[in-house]
Structure 1
Amino acid sequence: MNLTEKIKNSWWVILSFIFFLNGLGFLYIGFKHNNRNWILEGITYEFPWFFYFIIFAIYGVSVPSTLIIDFALILMLISIIRSVWVAIKLADVYDNNEKYTIKQTNLNHSVNNQNKDNGSSSICCCLCLICIFIIFAVMAL
């Protein structure tokens, strides 16, 4: 991947440097890569600014909100560091795409091998899946 493609794929990092928009970059990249953790991270970075605007709209300038702004600025600094880190990791993924893609395996079994023990292995597989499901259900309670 050349330099211009890396820049085009990491333009969202610029949003981390802008006041009030520092979480939108993570929202964008989270929706693009279908990563729920990045979406939640973007909401976390935007939440103090949203809360500040609500307090400012209700009470105006009379309420001291320096604590909220301080918290938002700390989260902004964290989002800058984190977005640069994620962009570097994503550039590695883009460069080594064949390393991170899932390849299908070739299943060249002969007809004789497929007919051997087909019934017992499928029953064992189903029992294992049922046991795993029960374990996860118990852990969820």
Structure 2
Amino acid sequence: MNAFDKIKKSWWVIFSIIMYINGVGFIYIGTKYNNKNWILEGVLYELPWFIYLIADRLYGNVFISNITGFYSLLAMLIMFIGIIRSVWVAVKLIDVYKNEEMYRIQTTSFNNPNMANNNNDRSSKVACCLCIFILFICFALFAL
């Protein structure tokens, strides 16, 4: 992969440098790769700017004179984290693009004659669902 292809595939990083839309890049790449964590991360990076614009419209000069210093410092810190994180994700995605064969999911089939006759075995399906349900209950109990 040459340098032009790397730049072309990571153009979304430019959004993280722009002040009011620094989370849009993560939202874009999250929707492109169907990764909900990146979408939520992009929304998190957009949230301070969204709150700032709403508070500015609602309270005007009162908001600007009282809270602007602390809030702008917090927003800039989140923006800086977003820039670092987007560059990091872009570098990791370049690695994925280079080694696409290694990361490709391939289907496999087993040549087991006993399994061909038992595709509709209900007991194995019920046992599988029961295991998943028990694991879900265990994780729910540990979460409390």
- Category of TM-score, reference length = shorter chain: 0.7 to 0.9
Q: What amino acid sits opposite 1:44 in the alignment?
A: L
Match in the other structure for 1:15: 15
Structure 2 Cα separation of the partners of residues 62 and 35 of structure 1? 39
Match in the other structure for 1:44: 44
Pairs aligned (count): 137
Structure 1 Cα separation of the partners of residues 103 and 8 of structure 2? 20
* RMSD (Å), alpha carbons: 2.2
State the identity as a percent: 51
TM-score, scaled relative to structure 1: 0.85
Deviation at 1:3, TM superposition (A): 1.7
Q: Is the 8 A contact 1:12 1:29 kept in 2?
A: yes
Which range moved further: 14-23 or 53-62?
53-62
Please give the secondary structure, in 1, of the residue aligned with 2:16: helix
Structure 2 Cα separation of the partners of residues 109 and 128 of structure 1? 20
Point out where structure 1 has 5 or more consecutive residues left out of the alignment.
none
1:78-102 Cα deviation digits (max 9, x unpaired): 0010000000000011111111111
Q: Is the 8 A contact 1:23 1:44 kept in 2?
A: yes
Structure 1 Cα separation of the partners of residues 112 and 75 of structure 2? 59
Deviation at 1:6, TM superposition (A): 1.2
Point out where structure 2 has 5 or more consecutive residues left out of the alignment.
none
- In 2 relative to 1, CA 71–5 (structure 1 residues): closer, same or farther, beyond 3 Å? same
Please give the secondary structure, in 2, of the residue aligned with 1:21: coil
TM-score, scaled relative to structure 2: 0.83
Determine if the alignment matches structure 1 residue 89 to structure 2 residue 92: yes
Structure 2 Cα separation of the partners of residues 66 and 137 of structure 1? 46
Structure 1 Cα separation of the partners of residues 137 and 38 of structure 2? 27
